[in-house]
Structure 1
Amino acid sequence: MATGFAELPQRFAALTREHERVAVVLLDAFGWKFVQRHADHPFLQRLAIEPVASQFPSTTTAHLTTLYSGLPVGEHGLYEWQIYEPAVDGIVLPLPFVDQQGEPLTLDPKTFVPSPTFFEQLEVPATALQPQAIWPSTYSSAALAGASVVPFATFEEAAAQLGTRDGLTYVYWDAIDAAGHRFGPSSAEFDAAALHALDALDEVRDTVIAVTADHGQLDVGEIDYLDALWPPLTEHLRHGPAGSARDCFLHVNDPETVVGELANALGERAEVRLASELFDDPGPRLRARLADVCVLPAPGRMAWLEAYPSRQLRFKGHHGGLTPEESQTWIGIMQA
């Protein structure tokens, strides 16, 4: 059985008990499919690589919060880019820490990120290297508590710092995911972003390095507007849609009716499920935020609502669903 992503924080912590210097790198969206695509790269050749099962949904929010808290998504409860937050009784975006209208939230970020964090639980010093475009941030101020945060301008700058400090040094890199969203994961631009990161990491020496990804991506194009396919949907909504166009979560009255009607309207274009069926042992934090119905589009498709315009519908690559391209990831470890 493949390792699950939620097991990785403990594996990283174990490495810090065995080695003086450990580097952990998360390459956003560089999933298992792309490791196989670039398997002949010298850096990947130096790693002992094994597959890892992503959590559902295959999203950055779910996996970064698991890494930063040490808890699976069923316990920490931040499952998607957009979620319902009981404290404001509305849809919010946890990572940018804004509401659905883009206004900053006034909540304590610890509302989202359980403590103690992964970094606070370590027995060694921790440094978190973050792209300067996303640091400082309110979410990260809570999620990275216990680590010394150092912003960087280029990935080469971040890679050059690996192995220079005792303890654990963590790097998050978002450019591969951004290239996939904009151009699609089959594009030359996506491969260029991936190779840029791998080339920089190939220069790292004198440290144990563990590399992973939160999810993959797949190419998308066609959009199914749920409220156009079944207009009564808007009468059932209790809040705007959560999730993303690859895993559209709906807070509705009469979920069984909504599942049946949307399944009939969509046919083979999507799978429609009760959201609770998609999670094993959800804890109170997830249960309080979880929607009632989830629409999982077929490969290559997206699903959303015309009444809620979203820039994600312009994406050429996306993730969040259960296809292997989205949900299979990996870990690679190289000893010093």
Structure 2
Amino acid sequence: MFDADAQALRERQSDGDYLLPAYDDWCFSRIPGTVADLLGADAGPRLPAEATADYDDVSRVVVFLVDGFGLAQWDGERDRIPFLREFERTGRVTPLTTVFPSETAAAMNTFHSGALPSEHGVVGWNVYDPDADEMFEALPFLRKDGTQPERIDRADVADCESVYPDLAAAGVETHHVTPFPSEETVPHTYDPEDLSTFSDAFAEAAESAADPSYIFAYLPQTDAVAHGEGVDSEAYRETAAETFARVENAIATLAEATDEDDAGETLVCLTADHGLVDTDPERNPDLSETPFDLVSDLRTLTDGTPIRFSGSPRNVHLHLRDDRIEPVSDLLTTELDARVFRKREVLERELFGPAPSPTFERRLGDLVVVHRDLGVWYGDEEPGNLGFVGMHGGLHPDEMLIPFATATLDSLR
């Protein structure tokens, strides 16, 4: 069943051509609290009760998170992937918004903690922390030259605590099937370049997890292909088909490892951290060129390096010299089909969420630029980013709306 409230959510959260996060109810940020609640634990706010009203006595939750496979992508691939249609028939697909920014570094820190970006302070893929005098990529925790930051610890990238100690305290065993190890859960790693390795890693988790349990499986392949080829490409369609073939196989493996009497107590969920929008690399604006030439307007690190890298091309944080904030805002508003948010407006509108932490406030740009449907970045240093087709991070409905699809294991047999 496809939840009929999709259009209502879209209309309620729309702001012109943009779509704002539904932090108070139907938001990605509430998935960890929902999983915990279903398993008898408390890990923060959950989705409204009707999101899981059909599911009682759950002893195992399995979440497959397909990176970048938003609601628009689900709709676009439904006719080509029978598994999606079958999942809709047997379960339900509830639309949610993701957080802002609609990108993996921010969203996944939220997913593992329940904290909003305004709390954990990961403002995008790229982070500038003035206290540390560092610019770095949040998830790989690397500078642009490939070295690790020296003036900030990895543990301080996100100002939050994970939900997994709370789950463990409630007796819930958590397993992660991901391309990278997890220190706070039982890890089952696989090679993201070879999806065939996912099947063995998931089988290991399914066979070893002792209920009550939570199995989280992360698949980043569709997002990676979309950056280079776009959503409307054969490469993307092939990768999506292979990804969901692996998910379907994993569910079959889960069914084999589960007693028939327990299959009704196992809840299977499919979701995404964000959706995608195809940009036009020929038109993606370059902030280092005319008419912008913004590099000289930027503040610098103590060594004189301009602070270019903060946010992402769909969520650009500009850390500007004080006398350049007003003129740069006017220039960008005139030249771009974009929302140019002042810092005060970001905080007043709670764009990244309420209750901003000191970590978030110091990392927030003087201006935050969100183009309607293009990527905006610095071609002098990272021309490849302007060459991406599929992007995310902004407030386009195709980036912001995601599925939260649920079904019991016995209904999927």
The TM-score with structure 2 as length reference comes to 0.73
Candidates 246, 254, 259, aligned match of 2:329 = 259
CA shift for structure 1 position 145: 4.0
- Further displaced range: 26-35 or 220-229: 220-229
Pair 1:156-2:224 in alignment = no
Are residues 102 and 311 of structure 1, via their aligned partners in 2, closer, same or farther at CA, if it must alter by over 3 Å? farther
CA shift for structure 1 position 277: 2.6
Hey, what does 2:63 align to over in structure 1?
24
Task: Encode CA deviations 1:145-165: one digit per residue, 9 max, x unaligned.
Answer: 421122123333344346431
Pair 1:234-2:261 in alignment = no
Hey, what does 1:12 align to over in structure 2?
35
The CA RMSD measured in Å over matched residues stands at: 2.1
Q: Is the 8 A contact 1:271 1:297 kept in 2?
A: yes
Inter-partner Cα distance in structure 1 for 2:402 and 2:219: 15
CA shift for structure 1 position 24: 1.4
Are residues 307 and 200 of structure 1, via their aligned partners in 2, closer, same or farther at CA, if it must alter by over 3 Å? closer
Pair 1:220-2:279 in alignment = yes
CA shift for structure 1 position 296: 1.8
Hey, what does 1:139 align to over in structure 2?
none
Q: 1:1-336 maps to which residues of 2 (within 5 A)?
A: 1=9, 3-17=26-40, 18-39=57-78, 41-43=82-84, 44-45=87-88, 46-106=90-150, 107-122=152-167, 123=170, 124-131=172-179, 135-136=180-181, 144-153=182-191, 154-161=197-204, 163-164=206-207, 165-166=209-210, 167-203=213-249, 204=251, 205=255, 206=263, 207-221=266-280, 222-231=283-292, 233-238=294-299, 239-254=307-322, 255-266=325-336, 268=337, 270-278=338-346, 279=351, 280-281=353-354, 282-299=356-373, 301-336=374-409
Structure number, greater radius of gyration? 2
CA shift for structure 1 position 93: 0.7
Q: Is the 8 A contact 1:83 1:92 kept in 2?
A: yes
CA shift for structure 1 position 109: 2.0
Stretches of 4+ moved more than 6 A in 1? none
Hey, what does 1:141 align to over in structure 2?
none
Structure 2 letter corresponding to 1:296: V
SS of equivalent to 1:226:
coil
Inter-partner Cα distance in structure 2 for 1:159 and 1:38: 24
Task: Encode CA deviations 1:116-160: one digit per residue, 9 max, x unaligned.
Answer: 3111211211111112xxx25xxxxxxx44211221233333443
* Identity %, equivalent residues: 28
The TM-score with structure 1 as length reference comes to 0.89
Are residues 210 and 55 of structure 1, via their aligned partners in 2, closer, same or farther at CA, if it must alter by over 3 Å? same
Structure 1 letter corresponding to 2:371: P
Inter-partner Cα distance in structure 1 for 2:134 and 2:268: 40
User: Structure 1: 5+ residue runs without aligned partners?
Assistant: 137-143
User: Structure 2: 5+ residue runs without aligned partners?
Assistant: 1-8, 10-21, 41-56, 192-196, 256-262, 300-306
Inter-partner Cα distance in structure 1 for 2:309 and 2:160: 28
Q: Is the 8 A contact 1:226 1:233 kept in 2?
A: yes
Q: Is the 8 A contact 1:229 1:265 kept in 2?
A: no
- Further displaced range: 31-40 or 184-193: 31-40
Hey, what does 1:140 align to over in structure 2?
none
Are residues 258 and 22 of structure 1, via their aligned partners in 2, closer, same or farther at CA, if it must alter by over 3 Å? same
CA shift for structure 1 position 20: 2.5
SS of equivalent to 2:328:
helix
Q: Is the 8 A contact 2:379 2:386 kept in 1?
A: no
Inter-partner Cα distance in structure 2 for 1:158 and 1:187: 29
* Structure with greater strand share of residues: 1
Task: Encode CA deviations 1:157-205: one digit per residue, 9 max, x unaligned.
Answer: 3443464312111111110101111210111111221122222222312
Structure 2 letter corresponding to 1:175: Q
Q: Is the 8 A contact 1:49 1:333 kept in 2?
A: yes
Structure 2 letter corresponding to 1:330: P
Inter-partner Cα distance in structure 2 for 1:161 and 1:198: 19
